[in-house]
């Protein structure tokens, strides 16, 4: 006799169709569910977004897929994104500007000071002195100085009220006055009849506080043999094209000079250059170096 072979019960069509795909078959309906239960609440969208309901996409071969719940930005959220992005760009730009301004005001001071030390050594060597000691005093009469080459040291410039000291170089091109005040080549030399004119940048290491000078303040120029003490008599603001301020007679370019003057020029206002700040001074007295430093530098 052939024993009977028991065959397993046939699976439901739903189980067979899903088992081939590795999917979990749906749970059987036990009939315990309450048909009166309210449907589940849809997920709450985040602020500025709205929920797009499930929807199938039908193609010629049937349903290709069913989209998951999507969130799409509204006009308000787009506007907020643009405003936020613009704000971040402006903040970044502002920080860059502040860093640049800080470099222009304070960062350049170290560089200028280093170049000034080099120029001071050059000037001392040209005057025949040890750079660590200073120029050697001379009892001889003052000799008319020969104009130096462009970019080379001319004289020392002191403003006691501002506690500042520079070496002035020859020339007023951007390269000449990058690290030092520059002497206008066609103007008088220190101590000569005419107008010894000097230009400088409006940066913290140079003529930043030039506007603080008032009538009567001293400006001292150092030459090889003498200290020349000038006194401020006028301060004015002019347009960049008013070059007559550095004429032998300031403001009167056609008149012959009769006085020994000093003129300092720089940009105005600070952080801009659409004007020029001008300080005029007149020679008050000359003191030979053999007599020591003038009182104006000892206060």
| CA–CA distances in Å: residue 288 to residues 142, 157, 204, 260 | 9, 16, 31, 17
CA–CA distance, 288 with 290 (Å, rounded to integer): 5
CA–CA distance, 299 with 289 (Å, rounded to integer): 17
Single out the catalytic residue among 165, 183, 201, 280: 201
Nearby residues of 41 by Cβ (< 8 Å), 6 or more positions away? none
Is 32 buried (19+), middle (13-18) or exposed (0-12) by CB count in 10 A? exposed
Residue 296 carries which DSSP code?
A: G
Nearby residues of 183 by Cβ (< 8 Å), 6 or more positions away? 154, 155, 168, 169, 170, 171, 172, 189, 196, 197, 198
**Residue of 201, 218, 211, 282 whose CA lies nearest to 249:** 282
Residue 201 among the catalytic residues? yes
CA–CA distance, 198 with 174 (Å, rounded to integer): 13
Residue 267 among the catalytic residues? yes
8 A C-beta contact, residue 216 and residue 210: no
Single out the catalytic residue among 165, 183, 267, 285: 267
CB atoms within 10 A of CB 280: 21
CA–CA distance, 284 with 210 (Å, rounded to integer): 20
Please give the helix or strand (H or E) that residue 139 lies within, else none: none
Q: Looking at the annotation, which residues are catalytic?
A: 201, 267
């Amino acid at each position: 006799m052939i024993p009977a072979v028991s065959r397993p019960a046939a699976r439901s069509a739903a189980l067979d169709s899903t088992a081939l795909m590795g999917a979990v078959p749906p749970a059987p309906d036990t009939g315990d569910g309450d048909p009166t239960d309210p449907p589940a609440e849809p997920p709450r969208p985040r602020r500025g977004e709205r929920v797009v309901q499930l929807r199938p996409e039908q193609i010629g071969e049937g349903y290709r897929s069913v989209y998951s719940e999507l969130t799409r930005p509204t006009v308000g959220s787009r506007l907020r994104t643009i405003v936020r992005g613009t704000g971040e760009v402006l903040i970044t730009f502002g920080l860059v500007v502040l860093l640049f301004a800080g470099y222009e005001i304070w960062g350049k001071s170290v560089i200028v000071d280093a170049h000034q030390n080099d120029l001071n050594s050059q000037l001392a060597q040209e005057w025949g002195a040890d750079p660590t000691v200073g120029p050697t005093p001379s009892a001889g009469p003052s000799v008319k100085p020969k104009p130096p080459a462009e970019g080379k040291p001319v004289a020392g410039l002191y403003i006691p009220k501002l506690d500042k000291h520079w070496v002035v170089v020859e020339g007023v091109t951007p390269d000449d006055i990058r690290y030092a005040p520059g002497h206008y080549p066609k103007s008088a030399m220190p101590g000569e009849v005419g107008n010894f004119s000097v230009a400088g940048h409006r940066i913290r290491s140079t003529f930043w506080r030039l506007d603080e000078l008032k009538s009567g303040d001293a400006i001292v120029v150092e030459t090889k043999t003498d200290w020349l003490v000038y006194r401020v008599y006028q301060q004015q603001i002019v347009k960049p094209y008013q070059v007559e301020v550095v004429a032998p007679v300031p403001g009167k370019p056609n008149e012959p000079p009769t006085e020994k003057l000093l003129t300092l020029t720089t940009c105005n206002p600070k952080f801009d250059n659409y004007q020029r700040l001008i300080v005029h001074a007149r020679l008050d007295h000359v003191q030979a170096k053999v007599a020591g430093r003038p009182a104006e530098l000892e206060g």
